[in-house]
Protein backbone atom coordinates (compact mmCIF):
# COMPACT_ATOMS: atom_id res chain seq x y z
CA UNK A 1 0.00 0.00 0.00
CA UNK A 2 1.31 3.43 -0.95
CA UNK A 3 0.87 6.31 1.50
CA UNK A 4 1.22 10.00 0.71
CA UNK A 5 2.24 12.31 3.55
CA UNK A 6 2.46 16.09 3.62
CA UNK A 7 5.23 18.11 5.30
CA UNK A 8 5.07 21.89 5.69
CA UNK A 9 8.05 24.10 6.50
CA UNK A 10 7.23 26.42 9.41
CA UNK A 11 8.98 28.61 11.96
CA UNK A 12 10.42 26.53 14.77
CA UNK A 13 7.79 26.44 17.57
CA UNK A 14 10.45 27.35 20.15
CA UNK A 15 11.38 30.57 18.34
CA UNK A 16 9.72 33.84 19.36
CA UNK A 17 7.69 35.08 16.41
CA UNK A 18 8.13 38.71 15.43
CA UNK A 19 5.78 40.76 13.28
CA UNK A 20 7.30 42.69 10.38
CA UNK A 21 7.59 46.44 10.88
CA UNK A 22 5.19 47.11 7.98
CA UNK A 23 2.55 44.72 9.39
CA UNK A 24 2.41 42.57 6.25
CA UNK A 25 3.25 39.32 8.04
CA UNK A 26 5.72 37.68 10.40
CA UNK A 27 9.49 37.87 10.05
CA UNK A 28 11.04 34.76 8.51
CA UNK A 29 14.46 36.09 7.46
CA UNK A 30 17.28 34.46 9.44
CA UNK A 31 14.73 32.56 11.52
CA UNK A 32 15.11 28.85 12.34
CA UNK A 33 12.65 26.77 10.36
CA UNK A 34 11.52 23.19 10.88
CA UNK A 35 8.95 20.63 9.82
CA UNK A 36 5.46 21.37 11.11
CA UNK A 37 5.01 19.28 14.32
CA UNK A 38 1.71 17.77 13.20
CA UNK A 39 3.21 16.88 9.82
CA UNK A 40 6.09 15.22 11.67
CA UNK A 41 3.56 13.10 13.55
CA UNK A 42 1.94 12.16 10.22
CA UNK A 43 5.31 11.08 8.80
CA UNK A 44 6.05 9.04 11.93
CA UNK A 45 2.72 7.25 11.60
CA UNK A 46 3.41 6.33 7.98
CA UNK A 47 6.88 5.05 8.89
CA UNK A 48 5.50 2.91 11.72
CA UNK A 49 2.94 1.43 9.35
CA UNK A 50 5.73 0.60 6.91
CA UNK A 51 7.77 -1.02 9.67
CA UNK A 52 4.71 -3.12 10.51
CA UNK A 53 4.54 -4.36 6.90
CA UNK A 54 1.28 -2.54 6.09
CA UNK A 55 2.78 0.17 3.87
CA UNK A 56 5.14 -0.51 0.97
CA UNK A 57 6.02 3.06 -0.07
CA UNK A 58 5.89 6.49 1.59
CA UNK A 59 5.83 9.59 -0.62
CA UNK A 60 6.26 12.92 1.17
CA UNK A 61 5.06 16.17 -0.41
CA UNK A 62 5.92 19.76 0.47
CA UNK A 63 4.79 23.01 -1.13
CA UNK A 64 6.86 26.19 -1.00
CA UNK A 65 10.29 27.60 -1.74
CA UNK A 66 13.41 25.63 -2.61
CA UNK A 67 14.32 25.57 1.11
CA UNK A 68 11.44 23.13 1.63
CA UNK A 69 13.80 20.47 0.31
CA UNK A 70 15.30 20.46 3.83
CA UNK A 71 11.87 19.61 5.25
CA UNK A 72 11.45 16.76 2.78
CA UNK A 73 14.94 15.45 3.58
CA UNK A 74 14.01 15.42 7.26
CA UNK A 75 10.93 13.33 6.47
CA UNK A 76 13.02 10.97 4.35
CA UNK A 77 15.56 10.68 7.17
CA UNK A 78 12.66 9.53 9.37
CA UNK A 79 11.85 6.80 6.85
CA UNK A 80 9.95 8.20 3.85
CA UNK A 81 11.06 6.69 0.54
CA UNK A 82 10.94 9.66 -1.83
CA UNK A 83 9.85 13.26 -1.96
CA UNK A 84 8.03 15.72 -4.18
CA UNK A 85 8.52 19.48 -3.88
CA UNK A 86 5.96 21.71 -5.54
CA UNK A 87 8.05 24.85 -5.83
CA UNK A 88 6.34 28.21 -5.57
CA UNK A 89 7.56 31.51 -4.17
CA UNK A 90 4.20 32.98 -3.20
CA UNK A 91 2.15 31.85 -0.20
CA UNK A 92 0.12 28.72 -0.82
CA UNK A 93 -3.34 29.22 0.65
CA UNK A 94 -5.42 26.22 1.86
CA UNK A 95 -7.52 25.81 -1.28
CA UNK A 96 -4.46 26.03 -3.52
CA UNK A 97 -2.69 23.44 -1.34
CA UNK A 98 -5.68 21.10 -1.59
CA UNK A 99 -5.81 21.46 -5.38
CA UNK A 100 -2.09 20.77 -5.71
CA UNK A 101 -2.34 17.72 -3.48
CA UNK A 102 -5.33 16.43 -5.46
CA UNK A 103 -3.28 16.61 -8.66
CA UNK A 104 -0.45 14.69 -7.00
CA UNK A 105 -2.84 12.11 -5.55
CA UNK A 106 -4.34 11.60 -9.02
CA UNK A 107 -0.83 10.96 -10.31
CA UNK A 108 0.53 8.82 -7.47
CA UNK A 109 -2.68 6.90 -6.63
CA UNK A 110 -1.99 6.31 -2.90
CA UNK A 111 -4.42 4.30 -0.79
CA UNK A 112 -4.07 6.65 2.17
CA UNK A 113 -3.18 10.32 2.64
CA UNK A 114 -1.91 11.30 6.09
CA UNK A 115 -1.65 14.99 6.91
CA UNK A 116 -1.06 17.05 10.02
CA UNK A 117 -4.36 18.34 11.37
CA UNK A 118 -3.08 21.91 10.96
CA UNK A 119 0.05 23.98 10.50
CA UNK A 120 1.27 25.96 13.49
CA UNK A 121 1.90 29.10 11.44
CA UNK A 122 -1.57 29.90 10.07
CA UNK A 123 -3.62 27.35 12.11
CA UNK A 124 -6.07 27.07 9.20
CA UNK A 125 -7.04 23.40 9.76
CA UNK A 126 -8.61 23.27 6.29
CA UNK A 127 -6.36 21.43 3.82
CA UNK A 128 -7.22 17.86 4.83
CA UNK A 129 -10.95 18.50 4.69
CA UNK A 130 -10.68 20.36 1.38
CA UNK A 131 -8.56 17.61 -0.17
CA UNK A 132 -11.03 14.90 0.85
CA UNK A 133 -13.88 16.95 -0.65
CA UNK A 134 -12.03 17.48 -3.95
CA UNK A 135 -11.16 13.79 -4.18
CA UNK A 136 -14.58 12.59 -3.02
CA UNK A 137 -12.83 10.37 -0.45
CA UNK A 138 -13.85 9.56 3.13
CA UNK A 139 -12.02 11.59 5.78
CA UNK A 140 -11.18 11.34 9.46
CA UNK A 141 -9.69 14.37 11.19
CA UNK A 142 -7.83 14.86 14.48
CA UNK A 143 -7.08 11.14 14.79
CA UNK A 144 -5.30 9.68 17.82
CA UNK A 145 -5.14 6.09 16.52
CA UNK A 146 -5.46 4.29 13.20
CA UNK A 147 -5.56 0.57 12.39
CA UNK A 148 -5.70 -0.70 8.82
CA UNK A 149 -8.11 -3.60 8.35
CA UNK A 150 -8.10 -4.72 4.71
CA UNK A 151 -9.86 -2.07 2.63
CA UNK A 152 -10.91 0.00 5.62
CA UNK A 153 -9.31 1.90 8.47
CA UNK A 154 -10.40 1.83 12.10
CA UNK A 155 -10.02 5.36 13.46
CA UNK A 156 -10.06 6.84 16.93
CA UNK A 157 -10.42 10.61 17.06
CA UNK A 158 -10.56 13.06 19.91
CA UNK A 159 -13.70 15.15 20.39
CA UNK A 160 -14.89 17.48 23.13
CA UNK A 161 -16.84 14.75 24.88
CA UNK A 162 -14.10 12.09 24.77
CA UNK A 163 -13.15 9.64 22.01
CA UNK A 164 -15.01 8.79 18.83
CA UNK A 165 -14.42 5.55 16.90
CA UNK A 166 -14.99 5.47 13.15
CA UNK A 167 -14.54 3.08 10.25
CA UNK A 168 -13.67 4.65 6.90
CA UNK A 169 -13.32 2.89 3.58
CA UNK A 170 -10.06 3.36 1.71
CA UNK A 171 -8.75 5.28 -0.12
CA UNK A 172 -9.14 7.97 2.53
CA UNK A 173 -7.67 11.16 3.95
CA UNK A 174 -6.77 11.34 7.65
CA UNK A 175 -5.24 14.17 9.68
CA UNK A 176 -2.97 13.52 12.66
CA UNK A 177 -3.51 14.92 16.14
CA UNK A 178 -0.94 15.36 18.88
CA UNK A 179 -1.50 12.05 20.68
CA UNK A 180 -1.27 9.84 17.60
CA UNK A 181 2.41 9.14 18.36
CA UNK A 182 5.72 10.66 19.39
CA UNK A 183 8.07 11.23 16.41
CA UNK A 184 11.45 9.51 16.51
CA UNK A 185 14.81 11.22 16.82
CA UNK A 186 16.49 11.50 13.43
CA UNK A 187 19.99 10.00 13.52
CA UNK A 188 22.98 11.23 11.53
CA UNK A 189 23.32 8.02 9.46
CA UNK A 190 19.68 8.33 8.36
CA UNK A 191 20.22 11.99 7.50
CA UNK A 192 23.09 10.95 5.23
CA UNK A 193 20.99 8.19 3.64
CA UNK A 194 18.17 10.68 2.99
CA UNK A 195 20.47 12.73 0.76
CA UNK A 196 20.55 9.85 -1.74
CA UNK A 197 16.78 9.32 -1.85
CA UNK A 198 14.92 10.68 -4.92
CA UNK A 199 13.40 14.15 -4.66
CA UNK A 200 11.36 15.54 -7.54
CA UNK A 201 10.88 19.28 -8.11
CA UNK A 202 7.81 20.40 -10.03
CA UNK A 203 5.89 23.63 -10.59
CA UNK A 204 2.15 24.18 -10.08
CA UNK A 205 1.80 24.89 -13.81
CA UNK A 206 3.01 21.38 -14.57
CA UNK A 207 0.11 20.06 -12.51
CA UNK A 208 -2.41 22.30 -14.25
CA UNK A 209 -3.43 23.91 -10.96
CA UNK A 210 -4.54 27.51 -10.41
CA UNK A 211 -2.83 28.73 -7.24
CA UNK A 212 -4.05 32.33 -7.44
CA UNK A 213 -4.66 33.65 -3.89
CA UNK A 214 -8.32 34.00 -2.88
CA UNK A 215 -7.60 35.71 0.42
CA UNK A 216 -5.78 38.94 1.20
CA UNK A 217 -4.08 39.68 4.52
CA UNK A 218 -4.88 43.24 5.46
CA UNK A 219 -2.67 43.57 8.51
CA UNK A 220 -0.74 41.47 11.03
CA UNK A 221 -0.13 42.81 14.52
CA UNK A 222 1.02 41.45 17.85
CA UNK A 223 -1.56 40.90 20.59
CA UNK A 224 -1.72 43.46 23.35
CA UNK A 225 0.70 42.80 26.18
CA UNK A 226 -0.84 41.46 29.35
CA UNK A 227 -0.84 43.80 32.31
CA UNK A 228 0.91 42.71 35.49
CA UNK A 229 -1.08 40.88 38.13
CA UNK A 230 -2.10 42.25 41.52
CA UNK A 231 -2.56 40.70 44.94
CA UNK A 232 -5.85 40.98 46.78
CA UNK A 233 -6.31 41.05 50.52
CA UNK A 234 -9.32 38.76 50.76
CA UNK A 235 -12.11 37.02 48.85
CA UNK A 236 -14.36 40.07 49.10
CA UNK A 237 -11.85 42.22 47.22
CA UNK A 238 -11.33 39.46 44.62
CA UNK A 239 -15.05 39.23 43.94
CA UNK A 240 -15.28 43.01 43.66
CA UNK A 241 -12.48 43.14 41.08
CA UNK A 242 -13.98 40.28 39.05
CA UNK A 243 -17.33 42.06 39.07
CA UNK A 244 -16.36 45.71 38.59
CA UNK A 245 -13.04 45.60 36.71
CA UNK A 246 -12.87 42.30 34.82
CA UNK A 247 -16.67 42.15 34.47
CA UNK A 248 -16.64 38.35 34.29
CA UNK A 249 -19.29 37.89 36.98
CA UNK A 250 -22.46 39.77 37.87
Q: What pLDDT is attached to residue 51?
A: 93
Between CA 45 and CA 87 the distance in angstroms is 25
Q: What pLDDT is attached to residue 211?
A: 85
Which residues have C-beta within 8 Å of that of residue 149, sequence separation ≥ 6? none
Q: Which H or E element spans position 89?
A: none
Q: Is the pLDDT of residue 169 over 90?
A: yes
Q: Is the pLDDT of residue 250 over 80?
A: no
Domains in the chain, CATH or no CATH each? 2-224 (3.40.50.620)
The β-bridge partners of 87 are: 64
Q: Which H or E element spans position 75?
A: helix 68-78
Concatenating the DSSP letter of every residue in 124-166 gives: ---HHHHHHHHHT--EEEEEEEEEEETTEEEEEEEETTEEEEE
Q: Is 207 helix (H, G, I), strand (E, B) or coil?
A: helix
Give the pTM: 0.84
Amino acid sequence: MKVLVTAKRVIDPYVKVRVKSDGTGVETANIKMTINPFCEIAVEQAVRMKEAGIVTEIVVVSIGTLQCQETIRTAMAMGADRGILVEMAEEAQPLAVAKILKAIVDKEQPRLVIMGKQAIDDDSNQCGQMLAALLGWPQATHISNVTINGDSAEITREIDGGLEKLTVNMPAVVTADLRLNEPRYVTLPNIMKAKKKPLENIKPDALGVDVKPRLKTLKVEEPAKRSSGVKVADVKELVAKLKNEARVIQ
